Structure 1
Amino acid sequence: MAHIIMIHGSWSGGWMWDRVIPILTAAGHSAEAPTLLGADPGGSRFPSRPLTAWADQIAARVREAKGPVVLVGQSRGGLVISEVAERVPERVGYLVYAGAFLLPDGASLGGTIQSAHPGAEPIFSVDTATGMTTVLPEALERIYSKTPVRWIEYARAMQCLEPLAAITTPISVSDERFGSVPRAYIEATEDQVMPLSLQRAMQARLPCNPVFAIESDHVLPSSAPEELARHLVEIANRVDHPARLRRPVL
């Protein structure tokens, strides 16, 4: 049995995985979806160095887990799981990027989007006084373009702020540690925020195996929870049988 830890994307929380967890547990794996520090509904303060603090937070959960761990990241959650792998590579059986940012050392989320799509329509606004970002209301239709309306409204009600530092801070990983952990990618083929071309460009830089494709919008847990869970179970089953693992080419 693998333990699956799922990390949410920006302006979100652990709640985004609510429809995925029961499917994983029914398949015999344990699963959790922690909310990152500061993103809880109670409004606790965000850490001054969010990516560092979030990676430390999840690395502590990985150390406490019993059995092999599969780390799953959605969107910005990809940066978090990469940095967790840098901290505890020996405890992570697989990294899974579910429509997530898979970045090399020194790259940032904002810089990656800017380079790939310099004229892209913004999806968030920035409060320069506080350094916090929030989703533009009109952007929700692009983010959740294939998600049922009732879940879009739920996501709208649950939206939280996000520090701009989480978008601009470069990731810090190495080939020796992060690069030693097997990686999988689950593509969101209808993503209007992080197009398939960008998802594949990131994989070309940092190859993954296996790779799956789902006809989903940017948020796979809300638009395709059953298919996403099925692929996660397949990957978790690989971790249960280490002989099946195949290391990625660095």
Structure 2
Amino acid sequence: MERGYTFVLVHGAWHYGDLWAPVAESLRIAGHEVHTPTVAGHAYNAQPGERDVGHADGVASIVEYIRRNELKNIVLVAHSFGGSIISRVAEEVPELIRRLVYWNAFVLKDGESVADVSPPTYNLMMDAIAEERGDNCVVLPYQVWRDSFIGDADEATARHTYGLLCPEPYRMLTDKVPLKSFDKLQIPKTYLNAQADVAMPPGQYAWFPRFAERLFPCRVVHMSGSHQVMFSNPAGLAEKIIQAGRD
């Protein structure tokens, strides 16, 4: 891949832009420009009222970031929930995007929410957490994080990174997402699949090939690692993002 690509990395649920730092550093060392915006409502120190946002607010925040920084010809990369964001961003600014990369990310159809394509057990768990908290945010129980999200890391890394997470505005996961023109866009797409990722459980809800099929025709890139390989092997993830994003 030639040097000088512009990557915009969009984080997943419970994350914010700064958590991409080790991956972004590796991409910059390789000669690329990297941006790591934070989706509206996800700032680590956000006040409770600042998390009272919906999916459309999240999309608008990324579109605004791209326009404010006068970015163009970008490789727009998303992790997990972020996939639902970049599909809508692509509808808003298709002329600014060189390629879309979905790393173990949700690829929604028109009118779906992230919750609609998640296992019912997850939704029941999240509903209960949101009701108990009373602020319409959800947090992952540690054991779910440890076993399903970051099983390839040691205990110290799992504990440390769990402490970095922020509450997730629940509407980001439950809002229905309108995608009226996505299927007609001529933007090249890649699905990057971490093969040990069981944040979506094996079977009918597995990330791959379920969501890659929705992008067909697309490039597919595989790597080892969990849903949080950005923490367990950031340099390896950066290498695969470069492979996924090349022309």
- Normalized against structure 2, the TM-score is what? 0.85
- Structure 2 unaligned residues grouped into runs of 5+: none
Instruction: Map residues 30-41 of structure 1 onto 2, 5 A cutoff.
Output: 30-41=33-44
Residue matched to 1:233:
242
User: Matches of 1:68 and 1:169 in 2, distance apart?
Assistant: 29
Structure 1 residue 40: Cα displacement: 1.3
Residue matched to 1:105:
110
- Structure 1 unaligned residues grouped into runs of 5+: 239-250
3-state SS in 1 of match to 2:50: coil
Task: Name the stretch that deviates more: 96-105 or 226-235.
Answer: 226-235
The code of the aligned residue for 1:11 comes to W
Instruction: Map residues 198-237 of structure 1 onto 2, 5 A cutoff.
Output: 198-199=206-207, 200-237=209-246
3-state SS in 1 of match to 2:116: helix
Count of residue pairs the alignment pairs up: 235
Which residue of 180, 188, 198 maps to 1:182?
188
Task: Name the stretch that deviates more: 174-183 or 54-63.
Answer: 174-183
Is residue 192–residue 244 contact of structure 2 (8 Å, CA) maintained in 1?
no
Is residue 41–residue 53 contact of structure 2 (8 Å, CA) maintained in 1?
no
Instruction: Map residues 37-116 of structure 1 onto 2, 5 A cutoff.
Output: 37-44=40-47, 45-46=49-50, 48-63=52-67, 64-114=69-119
Per-residue displacement from partner, 1:42-94 (whole Å, max 9, x unpaired)? Answer: 21433544211111111122223444111111110111111111110110111
Residues 185 and 217 (structure 1), Cα distance of their counterparts in 2 relative to 1, 3 Å cut? same
Instruction: Map residues 157-176 of structure 1 onto 2, 5 A cutoff.
Output: 157-175=163-181
Structure 1 residue 222: Cα displacement: 1.7
- Normalized against structure 1, the TM-score is what? 0.84
| Matched-pair identity in % | 24
Is residue 55–residue 83 contact of structure 1 (8 Å, CA) maintained in 2?
yes
The code of the aligned residue for 2:56 comes to T
